[in-house]
A = this chain, B = another copy of it.
Amino acid sequence: MQEAAERFGAQCIVVAIDAKRQTAEIKRQNEEEAEAWKVYIHGGRTPTGLDAIEWAQRMEAYGAGEILLTSMDRDGTKEGYDIPLTHAIAEAVTIPVIASGGVGNLQHIYDGLTAGGADAALAASIFHYQEYTVRQCKDFLAERGVRVRF
């Protein structure tokens, strides 16, 4: 039991956060202000009005074990994770963050784990149709000094 917990960590609650950029709105308020993201639910259709960074911090304070952070702007685009979003959330909390939304190639995974500061990188469709194998991904990351658990 202890061994299993050490290997995988104990069971945990992963809180999913779907975030969309609010650059236009923020710009109207203050040209100098940094980027901001809001939380959406129901697959990105319903805005909650919550700031994504504040919500992530509240979820950590309430006891979330991990955060699955999906950029609704990037999801499905294959243009890469929203790195500023990922970095902002990863900096704001101490629990692990899984980056999600937009992976199109192995460089994107590398970027999410390094510049984005994510603890894990979520991918789905790049492993279908033999675009890339997970093993290729591991080698790509290892060659660039990213320590990965496989």
- Bound-state CA distance A98–B120 (Å) is 13
Q: Taking the complex as formed, is A138 at the interface, i.e. its CB lies under 8 A from any CB of chain B?
A: yes
- Min CB distance A116 to B, Å, is 11
Interface residues contributed by chain A, number (CB under 8 Å): 52
Q: Which residues does chain B contribute within 8 Å of A119, judged by CB atoms? A: 8-9, 11-12
- In the complex formed, the residue of B with least CB distance to A138 is B63
> Is A64 at the interface (CB under 8 A from chain B)?
yes
Q: Write the nearest CB–CB distance from A13 to chain B, whole angstroms.
A: 6
> Is there contact, CB below 8 Å, between A122 and B14?
yes
Residue of B nearest to A39 (CB): B128
Is A66's CB within 8 Å of the partner chain B?
yes
| A120-B66, A134-B64 known; A147-B10 Cβ under 8 A | yes
Q: A39-B128, A64-B134, A64-B150 are in contact. List 4 more A-B contacts (CB 8 A).
A: A10-B148, A12-B120, A16-B100, A48-B128
Q: List 8 A-B contacts (CB under 8 A).
A: A10-B148, A11-B147, A12-B148, A18-B124, A62-B135, A63-B137, A63-B150, A68-B98
